[in-house]
Amino acid sequence: MENNNNNNNNRISIPVTLKGINYLLWARMVKIALGGKEQRNREAERIVGPLSIAVPGEIAGLYKAWETHGRVPRKLLVEPSIKLARDGFQVGSHLDFALSKNEAMIKNDNGLKSVFTKEGELLKKGDICYNTKLADTLESVAEKGMKAFYEEDVAEKLVNDVREAGGIITMDDLESYEV
């Protein structure tokens, strides 16, 4: 799987070989178009900030790959990730470095702060990182499929969180997403 980032979109490519045939699924994060003078004046926020939040495509891409070529039951496939998110994992040196480089952003974002800080301080190498909201999201997707993420409870929470932060993603944006 490859993650390519540029100013216009984020592409996830999922290479799959089945019975000697190669497939490539593209799951793009689609940026929402800015409209009107008021939105264009917020152009800087499209790089960092609430307007930089795009419609996520990774769940749809991975789900499509599983749906088309998967052999392992969906719940079993997602279980290790749910366990890591819920039970926690030890912060390694790479995550420690990334957290330290983004400290101000993390401490100013309630969602990031809830995952990557403890008692107001950044997690450090050796600390345990928990992400129970991610575990809940993955459980919902494991149970209900992609529909949970793009059309149901997870989608509604995502849209509400993004809009509270000043972003402009709508339920229609999520519901109309295609790989």
Query: For 55-84, how does the pLDDT look when each residue is reduced to its tens digit (9 = 90+)?
Result: 888 888 888 888 888 889 999 999 999 999
Classify burial at 128, counting beta carbons within 10 Å of its beta carbon; exposed 0-12, middle 13-18, buried 19 or more. exposed
179 within 8 A of 61, measured Cβ to Cβ: yes
Same domain, 9 and 56: yes
Half-sphere exposure of 161 (CA within 13 A, CB side): 13
Please give the single-letter amino acid code of residue 119.
E
- Domain extent, residue 33, equals 2-73+146-175
Same domain, 154 and 66: yes
Same domain, 45 and 12: yes
Same domain, 62 and 107: no
Same domain, 170 and 117: no
- Which whole-number Å values give the CA distances from 158 to 5, 31, 117, 153, 164, in the listed order? 22, 15, 21, 9, 10
pLDDT in tens, 118-128: 999 999 999 99
Residue 56 lies in a domain: yes
Residue 68 lies in a domain: yes
pLDDT band at 140 (very low <50, low <70, confident <90, very high): very high
Same domain, 62 and 101: no
Residue 160 lies in a domain: yes
Same domain, 11 and 52: yes
pLDDT band at 151 (very low <50, low <70, confident <90, very high): very high
First to last CA, the chain: 15
